Amino acid sequence: MKLVRFGQPGQEKPGILDGSGAIRDLSGSVTDFDGAFFASGGLDAVAKLDVESLPRAPEGSRFGPPVAGVRNFIAVGLNFADHAKETGSPIPAEPILFNKAPSCIVGPNDDVIIPKGSTKSDWEVELAFVIGKRASYVSESEALDYVAGFCVCNDVSEREWQIERGGQWMKGKGCPTFGPLGPWLVTPDEIGDVGRLGMWLDVNGERVQNGSTQTMIFDIRKIVSYASQFMILEPGDVITTGTPPGVGLGFKPPRFLKAGDTMALGIDGLGEQRQKVVAYRG
């Protein structure tokens, strides 16, 4: 299944793509795609519905983030061997975990705002996944049973604040609009080998990232199991898993986002995002 949330910000309804790619409205059957939905077996209930009989969403509806009410937004740093190389960093011995603020989550095609005072805002196409049931001390062999689905994430990052402002990565990771998710939440049965998905990102039409999940250092099983040793993962939590090479920080000289830029990005089987970069207007 490809689950979506459509409508204006704060007013999104749950939906599902039909066989032709049109959005069908699930709001008559489902309240929202949030932690309670996943915890109560909502995916199984939706799978039993006759999708083609559901009403169509209005043509041209905005895609919202495909999961609602996210309480914990976890990210994995330096998780691609070729990206670690471009930053001059050693291969991590264990996953590097940090948090992005849930308030940074926006729809896949919403504007990305350059924060007030930022000079080094950067892009990162990433594979994200949503936790489907409560996970604590999970084994790697069971880890995929806790994944509800996968989606595209743009882990937008302010490098000065991430690296040069006291060593706390989250300072540069949680600014408003720095977490576009979607367009779809794709259930695992629709994804073949999640370890062999092509990933790409363009800035102003130029391909800057062109990688694959094949170069991930720690795979999804490891990430779920590892994170669950340190915290309880709850249904609806989002984990984004790192980026391939080609980020602005890795260029010589470095290149960063400016107002008027556009980003387009995607992952095989998970859809595409497109964002316009705008200046902060507080």
93 and 231 part of one domain: yes
Over residues 74-109, the pLDDT tens digits come to 999 999 998 888 878 889 999 999 999 999 999 999
Q: What is the pLDDT of residue 83?
A: 83
142 and 265 part of one domain: yes
Q: How many CA atoms within 13 Å lie on the side-chain side of 88?
A: 4
Tokens standing for 73?
């937004």
Q: Average pLDDT in the 15-22 region?
A: 97
Q: What is the pLDDT of residue 252?
A: 94
Q: How far apart are CA 169 and CA 85, in angstroms?
A: 19
Q: Which long-range contacts (CB under 8 A, 24 or more apart) does 166-169 make?
A: 169/77, 169/98
* Of 64, 94, 118, the domain-final residue: 64
183 and 222 part of one domain: yes
Q: Average pLDDT in the 130-136 region?
A: 98
Residues 6 or more apart in contact with residue 99 via CB below 8 angstroms: 72, 73, 74, 75, 170, 173, 174
Contact assessment for residue 223 and residue 114, using Cβ atoms and an 8 Å cutoff:
no
Mean pLDDT estimate for the chain: 96
Going from the C-alpha of 246 to that of each of 14, 113, 201, 217, 270, the distances in angstroms are 34, 21, 9, 17, 20
Q: What is the pLDDT of residue 64?
A: 98
11 and 104 part of one domain: no
* Of 25, 46, 64, the domain-final residue: 64
Q: What is the pLDDT of residue 50?
A: 97
pTM: 0.97
Confidence of residue 45 (pLDDT cuts 50, 70, 90): very high
* Of 31, 64, 97, the domain-final residue: 64
10 and 121 part of one domain: no
Q: What is the pLDDT of residue 85?
A: 82
Q: How far apart are CA 243 and CA 152, in angstroms?
A: 11
264 and 148 part of one domain: yes
Question: Looking at the 3D structure of the chain, how many domains does it have?
Answer: 2
Which of 38, 76, 71 minimizes the C-alpha distance to 223?
76
53 and 84 part of one domain: no
Where residue 147 sits, what CATH number does that domain have? 3.90.850.10
123 and 226 part of one domain: yes
Contact assessment for residue 241 and residue 205, using Cβ atoms and an 8 Å cutoff:
no
Residue whose tokens read 């989606």: 151
Over residues 242-278, the pLDDT tens digits come to 999 999 999 999 999 999 999 999 999 999 999 999 9
86 and 42 part of one domain: no
